[in-house]
Amino acid sequence: MKILFLDQSGKPGGAELCLIDIAKPYCDRALVGLFADGDFKTLLEQNQIPVEILTNQAIAVRKQSNLLQAFASLGQLAPLIAKVVEKAYKYDIIYANTQKALVVGAIASFVTRRPLVYHLHDILSLEHFSKTNLRVAINLANRFASLVIANSQASQKAFVQAGGKPELTTVVYNGFDPKTYQTCDEDIQKLRQQLGLENKFVVGHFSRLSPWKGQHILIEAIAKCPPQVTAILVGDALFGEQDYVQQLHQQIAQLGLENRVKFLGFRADIPQLMAACDLVTHTSTAPEPFGRVIVEAMLCGTPVIAAKAGGAMELVEHGVNGFLVTPGESQELAEVINTCVQETEITATIASQARNIASQRFDVANVNQQIAKSLKVIGDR
């Protein structure tokens, strides 16, 4: 089966990293068409996945745009749509991995009569999107998609609540190769040394810097923890959230935490860094659609505290394979961090259970089989 994957981003966010694993088995008969250049392209190339940038023009629609702006951008999309249509004739399925890819993919699917699959990585609610963008996504999916793959039950539920047809949907979690997350103790000690983290209790946060990812909540919590508790913030402002980055620096200065919070920027050595942490926290203030970082921390054997909302609630069972705290509540987060500092034995048992459960539950080989089965049904119709 030949697949034309479409993704609007040139940057490697979670949806894009997930796409690498999905496209890999099809690399001899697939193309990933991107609507922007960037590091994601390099990552696809490193994985031997054919990739092409389909437009050089930035697409103006933002997550919060209105109907007029949405229409204005359609005209701007014309050359891109023409290019995707031309490509799509050579493939059996169009696989849209993001919302703008859905818009372009839906039109191409209509013109070329190729079935459309929409991989839904978002919670389609007003917390995350404008009313217009929600309506456009739901209507296009209902009218043109043969299958909507939701990355969690939370994303599926939001899709249906916003008017999406339930019969189109199936839930497939992100898959991971557990081997990638096995690290060598010696390397980890070296890394802690290099980062000046010896003798500290290191709390890691691994997300792009963005207000709803809630790095400010962790910083607030660190101020309420004993002095050996230190945080590393791993990730960059991928989508231009520079004001937020400034706010974080101001907050750190106001709380006098300059020596206890380090920004490491975007990193490629996530398994090593996670293994170097004593704890990983996930602090999203809006419901997380899935939360790759939560599963990755589990696979590294590092205990994880997650914000209790959205897909994170499907990944973590409090006290069994991690901890859940109320989103936005820094006091509660600080209390659970302190419990982990003190109750090292129970915490280590929970982390080890989490590693075992996650290795099976999110095994990329099983996930890819699930996707292959669904695509076969669509292709055979």
Specify the stretch interacting with ligand GLC by CB under 6 A; choose among 71-79, 182-190, 256-264, 290-298.
290-298
Residue 14 as a binder of ligand UDP (CB under 6 A): the answer is: yes
Q: Footprint of ligand UDP on residues 206-235 (CB under 6 A)?
A: 206-208, 234-235
Residue 151 as a binder of ligand GLC (CB under 6 A): the answer is: yes
The residue of the chain with the least Cβ separation from ligand UDP equals: 14
Q: Footprint of ligand GLC on residues 12-41 (CB under 6 A)?
A: 13-15, 18
3-state DSSP of the chain: CCEEEEECCCCCCHHHHHHHHHHHHHCCCEEEEECCCCHHHHHHHHCCCCEEECCCCCCCCCCCCCHHHHHHHHHHHHHHHHHHHHHHCCCCEEEECCHHHHHHHHHHHHHHCCCEEEEECCCCCCCCCCHHHHHHHHHHHHHHEEEEEECCHHHHHHHHHCCCCHHHEEECCCCECHHHHCCCHHHHHHHHHHCCCCCCEEEEEECCCCHHHCHHHHHHHHCCCCCCEEEEEECCCCCCCHHHHHHHHHHHHHCCCCCCEEEEECCCCHHHHHHHCCEEECCCCCCCCCCHHHHHHHHHCCCEEEECCCCHHHHCCECCCEEEECCCCHHHHHHHHHHHHHCHHHHHHHHHHHHHHHHHHCEHHHHHHHHHHHHHHHHHC
Instruction: Tell the smallest beta-carbon distance from residue 191 to ligand GLC (Å).
Output: 25
Cβ proximity to ligand GLC, 33 vs 175, nearer residue: 175
- Binding track, positions 149-188, relative to ligand UDP; x by CB under 6 A: ----------------------------------------
Specify the stretch interacting with ligand UDP by CB under 6 A; choose among 152-160, 205-213, 302-310, 339-347.
205-213
Cβ proximity to ligand GLC, 18 vs 145, nearer residue: 18
- Binding track, positions 111-130, relative to ligand GLC; x by CB under 6 A: ----------x---------
Q: Tell me which residues touch ligand GLC (CB under 6 A).
A: 13-15, 18, 121, 151, 174, 288-292
